[in-house]
Amino acid sequence: MVIFGGLAVMFVILGLFLVAVCLITPFVVFAIKGNLDKALERLTALEKRMAEIETKTSGLRDKPNED
Tens digit of pLDDT for each residue in 35-66?
999 999 999 999 999 999 999 888 776 666 66
pLDDT at 67 over 60: no
Q: Is the pTM of this model over 0.75?
A: no
DSSP letter assigned to residue 66: -
Query: Which residue from 64, 43, 62, 42 is spatially nearest to 54, judged by alpha carbons?
Result: 62
pLDDT band at 27; cut points 50, 70, 90:
very high
